[in-house]
Amino acid sequence: MLQLSAVATRRAGRVSLWGTASPFCLEDLAKALQRRGEEILRVGTVEVVFAFPEWTRPHRVIPRQALTERGQRIREPWTTLWLVRFGYAEPRAELEGLTLEGEPVQLLVRDLDLDAVETYVMASGWQRCTAGIWVAAGSLPQVRSDVEEEAWAAAWLRAVLSPSEREAFEGILQEATRRGIPWRVQYQEREARFMLESRRQIEGMLLLARAVDRCLIEVSDLEQGLPIMD
């Protein structure tokens, strides 16, 4: 599970996560979105979980803990991150989880479609979230849709990480650029440098980037420049 400082909205049945940072604030962003026809579901700390469809039943499973083929027990908040990183290498690992309705389930990792991860936010029950938008300050209005996963995740992480961890993260980005490799690869080579909570945030944001449609918006003023997202 991730806990993000964000605004969760719904428009025409589609749930979106919006984030921003100084000089803007979430409360002003929420007001501007509401005036543009978005239904505000949550402002502030938004709980985000990842769920996977079963191959043979119409269930979405939220992982809770896993017993690996080597006998190691993995518990939340690491279970989902372990699944997407190592699940295909251990298809007979045992998994415990919950359906979206709260029903406990037990199954094997191979019973889940690990490539079809979905995002859900808590707002009067779990709501499927299909879009993530980061709003930044800029002199010229700009909307970038279908943003590359790592660029989108980096925009959020710069606001999420603590100052010391942000400095280490910027070093990862710079070194990845110098080497001409994805920063995800550079991070995996240097992940031991980060505190466990920061590692969870980084890997969680990368997974979120996989699971939603991504957009970056730059505006000089929330009231005048924020577009309507259809």
pLDDT of residue 140: 81
Q: 209 and 191: one domain?
A: yes
Based on the fold, state whether residues 44 and 141 are members of the same structural domain.
yes
Residues recorded for the chain: 230
Position 80 in a domain? yes
Q: Do the domain assignments include residue 71? A: yes
Taking the CB of residue 71, how many other CB atoms lie within 10 A of it? 7
Q: What is the pLDDT of residues 65-88, one digit of tens each?
A: 999 999 999 999 899 999 999 999
Helix, strand counts (H, E) of the chain = 7, 11
Helix orientation angle between 149-160 and 196-211, rounded to the nearest 10 degrees:
140
Determine the Cα–Cα distance for residues 209 and 94; give it in Å rounded to an integer.
26
Full domain range(s) for residue 60: 55-112
> Which H or E run contains 153?
helix 149-160
Give the Cβ contact number of residue 208 at 10 Å: 23
Residues 67, 105: Cα–Cα separation, whole Å: 14
Structure tokens at 91: 């298809």
**Residue 228 included in any domain:** no
Domain count, the chain: 2
The per-residue pLDDT for range 7-50, each reduced to its tens digit, is 999 999 999 999 999 999 999 999 999 998 999 999 999 999 99
Amino acid 229: pLDDT = 62
Same domain, 140 and 105: no
Is residue 26 in some structural domain? yes
The band of 191, judged by pLDDT with boundaries at 50, 70 and 90, is very high
| 71 shares a domain with 44 | no
9 within 8 A of 15, measured Cβ to Cβ: yes
Q: Same structural domain for residues 83 and 158?
A: no
- Distance from CA of residue 184 to its chain's centroid? 15
117 falls within a domain: no
Mark whether 188 and 101 lie in a shared domain: no
Is pLDDT at 228 greater than 70 in this prediction? no
Please choose, from the candidates 106, 102, 63, 103, the residue with its C-alpha nearest in 3D space to the C-alpha of residue 85: 63
User: 165-181 burial by CB neighbour count: b if 16+ within 10 A, else e?
Assistant: beebbeebbeebeeeee
- The string of pLDDT tens digits covering residues 119-159 is 999 998 999 999 999 999 988 888 999 899 999 999 999 99
Q: What integer is the mean pLDDT of 107-111?
A: 97
State the Cα–Cα distance between residues 130 and 212, nearest whole angstrom.
5
Instruction: Tell whether 131 and 203 lie within a shared domain.
Output: yes
Residues 98 and 132 in one domain: no
pLDDT at residue 226 greater than cutoff 80: no
Are the CB atoms for 47 and 1 separated by under 8 Å? yes
In a domain, 229, yes or no: no
DSSP state of 212: S
pLDDT of 103 reads: 95
